Structure 1
Amino acid sequence: MAAAEGSHEVVVVREYDRKTDRRAVEEVEEMCQVGRTGNGKHRLSLHTHLLGDPMSRLRNSPASRMLVAEMAADGGARRQVVGMIRGCIKTVASPMFAKLAYILGLRVSPSHRRMGVGAKLVRGMEEWFRQNGAEYSYIATENDNRPSVNLFTKKCGYSKFRTPAILVHPVFAHRVRVDAGAAVIRLGSADAEALYRRRFSSTTEFFPRDIDAVLNNKLSLGTFLAVPKGSTPYDSAESWPGPDEFLAARPESWAVLSVWNCMEVFRLEVRGASRVIKALARTTRLLDRAFPWLHLPSVPEVFRPFGLHFLYGLGGEGPGAAALIRALCWFSHNLAMDGGCSVVATEVSCGEPLRLGIPHWKRLSCAEDLWCIKRLGDDYGDGSVGDWTKSPPGLSIFVDPRDI
């Protein structure tokens, strides 16, 4: 229990209770923006609308917990939830496998910031991480979110680790043409798992050991492989030979990705847009729906709660891999359009060669997301854990869709 500076209130951090805390947590979530888009004076804010219980974003993680910060006053007679934090633990490649904890969804009510609430929530979550054997903890935040960066790097002992790019593309009202020279094959989850494990587990940072659980999750809409037409004797799922034969005699260029349906867990909403911006966006949609054959770019309805499809597991090789990834992204765009989604997004390492093939709108994207990491083993002083925090970045990272 810690006293809030300059007051007689105290902050109590405890485990989330669905029966008593749900409404209060939803109110704090509603007040807090989760990101920003645009630039200059046209800065817009991004907000989350959870579907179902606030724990819903953690349901798909192997081990998870949620804590709330409660402000108590008048001897404890008045209590108010002023913040919350979510966390999960999993085993990932670093490239050696390590037990990694992830902090997701730290929120503090705007009226109770700069009072030590955020730091107390982080410390409470880290204690649970250690009790469950986590070797590292990491957090993703905006590179220009100074209060968040200062909290983790100056107060909580985290160091700046990776700066991946979040690439976002709107879903138009028309279908996008997929390169006719690319054959897109849908893989079964067992074949997708084998392909991912054999090609990426030892070369891709943050690769989850339980990739099978990710691919078999009901939110995973499938894994898709692209190869140049005519480069192989197969161009459909029916003629697919399986991962062993594919890897033994793979074409010069190929690419793969999987799709995750975030809109079943949460919706996003852009706020702060002027009437002029909203009117212009509405006009683009009207034109796109009226003349779909013109393939006009349009801004979807993002000023109300909208759905997101997340592309994960992007990989491939060969001189034509970037072009094949582009074909898979357009294929995923059409899948999202059919599913009523407004946005398709992915996150890749800043050095990812395939990044050049990913279509995105710069205004909607984030060139440098910031991942901060902390070696929890340092606190034990036993030297039993290798220091991943000092390793140079690799070309590729695996962004687990369960962490979105």
Structure 2
Amino acid sequence: MGVMDEAEPVKKTMLRVRGFDVERDLRAVEELERLCQVGLSGDQGSDPVADLDGGAKKTRSSKKKKGMSLYVEQIGDPFARVRHATDNVMLVAEYGEKDEVVGVIKACTRMVSRGKKQQSFSGSSKQFVKVACLLGLRVSPSHRRLGIATELVRHAESWCAARGAAYATMATTESNAASLALFTGRFAYAPFRRPVFLGHPVHRHRVRIPRAHRVLRLPP
């Protein structure tokens, strides 16, 4: 699929989105995850220096913050966050004549409850619905503002819709301006839940173990 480079309207570049191949793409995806750090796209309260697709305005920062690499999320398995779903996929975006991997996204479909039973016109109730979960959207810092994130999301949504997903959902932090601009702006996603995560370790305390239970020390 050909797209036009905004900086150079005359020059055509190639952007291709395809399925992840572990032998071909593993090293490139791992390197991409290392390049993407928490906090560089408006996350953790930092300035929105570079939006994924140009939704945030560039601002100057006197001191560049260095965040934690997102490579830790893979824990040695590129499909770690979607593997347990029956339908899952990982897509990569190649850019330019050298087929450089500059973007990645993961997606899966899951059956979720709609809460109260919904009565349809036919008289049957549909309490569950299939939902697309979009995860792990990454774009190389050197290739942002080129529409790569948009194409990755579109392909992921299409893949899930073809497998029966009626809705799509994603999760991000409230301070991630780039992600919010992309999903709530360009794709018109609506915020519906704000979960609270435990950000600090629980204080250590002793727990009495019933006599009927045994604690076994297992080898690593």
Aligned residue for 1:134, secondary structure, equals coil
The aligned residue for residue 51 of structure 1 is 75
Q: Note if contact 1:64-1:88 (Cα within 8 Å) is conserved in structure 2.
A: yes
- Aligned residues of 2:37 and 2:68 also touching (Cα < 8 A): yes
Relative distance call for 1:168 and 1:127 in structure 2 (3 A) is same
- Of all paired residues, the percent bearing the same amino acid is 42
The 1:237–1:84 alpha-carbon spacing in structure 2 relative to 1, beyond 3 Å, is farther
Q: CA deviation at 1:19?
A: 1.4
The offset of 1:16, in angstroms, is: 0.8
How many pairs align? 180
What code does the residue aligned with 2:7 have? Answer: G
Structure 2: give runs of 5+ residues left out of the alignment. 48-62, 116-126
Whole-angstrom CA distance in 2 between matches of 1:10 and 1:94:
41
The 1:38–1:122 alpha-carbon spacing in structure 2 relative to 1, beyond 3 Å, is closer
Structure 1 contact 69–117 (Cα < 8 Å) conserved: yes
Residue 176 (structure 1) aligned with residue 200 (structure 2): no
Output the CA distance in 2 between the equivalents of 1:33 and 1:140. 17
Kindly tell me: are residues 163 and 28 of structure 1, through their superposed partners in 2, closer, same or farther at Cα, counting changes over 3 Å? same
TM-score, scaled to structure 1: 0.40
Partner of 1:136: 167
Over residues 247-294 of structure 1, what are the superposed CA-to-partner deviations in whole Å (9 max), with x where a residue is unaligned?
Answer: xxxxxxxxxxxxxxxxxxxxxxxxxxxxxxxxxxxxxxxxxxxxxxxx
1:22 equivalent in alignment to 2:26 = yes
Say whether 1:104 aligns with 2:135.
Answer: yes
Q: Which of 92, 106, 112 is equivalent to 1:86?
A: 106
User: For residue 26 of structure 1, what is the amino acid of its counterpart?
Assistant: E
1:2-41 equivalences under 5 Å are 2-3=2-3, 4-7=5-8, 8-34=12-38
The alpha carbon displacement at 1:161 in A equals: 1.5
CA displacement at 1:143 relative to structure 2: 0.8
Relative to total residues, which structure has the larger strand share, 1 or 2?
A: 1
Does the C-alpha gap of structure 1 residues 2 and 151 become closer, same or farther in structure 2, counting only changes over 3 Å?
farther
Q: Deviations over 1:122-152 (max 9, x none)?
A: 0000000110000111010111111110100
Per-residue deviation, 1:39: 8.4
- Decide whether aligned partners of structure 1 residues 39 and 30 sit closer, same or farther in structure 2, where only a CA change above 3 A counts: closer
Aligned 8 A contact 1:28 1:107 in 2 = yes
| Bigger mean CA offset, 53-62 vs 22-31 | 53-62
The structure-2 alpha-carbon separation of the partners of 1:5 and 1:122, relative to structure 1 and needing over 3 Å to count, comes to same
Gap regions ≥5 residues in structure 1: 185-234, 239-337, 340-404
Which amino acid is 1:19 matched to?
E
Q: Which amino acid aligns with 1:92?
A: V
Cα pair distance change 1:237/1:157, threshold 3 Å? farther
**How many Å separate the matches in 1 of 2:178 and 2:64?**
21
**Quick one: which amino acid aligns to residue 54 of structure 1?**
P
Letter in 2 for 1:13: V
The TM-score normalised by the length of structure 2 is 0.71
1:168 CA displacement:
1.9
Query: Whose helix fraction is larger, Structure 1's or Structure 2's?
Result: 1
Alpha-carbon distance in 2 for matches of 1:168, 1:42: 24
What is the deviation of 1:57?
2.9
Look up the equivalent residue of 2:110 and give its one-letter code. Answer: K
User: How far does the alpha carbon of each residue in 1:171-216 deviate from its partner, in whole angstroms, 9 at most, with x for none?
Assistant: 77xx4245x7xxx7xxxxxxxxxxxxxxxxxxxxxxxxxxxxxxxx
Q: Shift of residue 43 of structure 1?
A: 6.1
Shift in Å at residue 88 of structure 1? 0.8
* Offset from partner CA, 1:229-252 (integer Å, 9 cap, x none): xxxxxx7767xxxxxxxxxxxxxx
1:91-240 to structure 2, matched below 5 A, reads 91-95=111-115, 96-170=127-201, 175-178=204-207
In 1, Cα distance between the equivalents of 2:44 and 2:21?
Answer: 33
**Partner letter of residue 94 of structure 1?**
R
Deviations 1:216-239 (A, max 9, x none): xxxxxxxxxxxxxxxxxxx7767x
Query: For the residues of structure 2 that align with 1:129 and 1:6, how far apart are their CA atoms?
Result: 33
CA contact (8 A) 1:87 1:103 kept: yes
Report the aligned-residue RMSD: 2.9
The residue identity in structure 1 corresponding to 2:67 is: S
Superposed displacement of residue 34, structure 1: 3.9
Hey, what's the Cα distance between the residues in 1 that align with 2:92 and 2:211? Answer: 49
Letter matched to residue 151 of structure 1: L
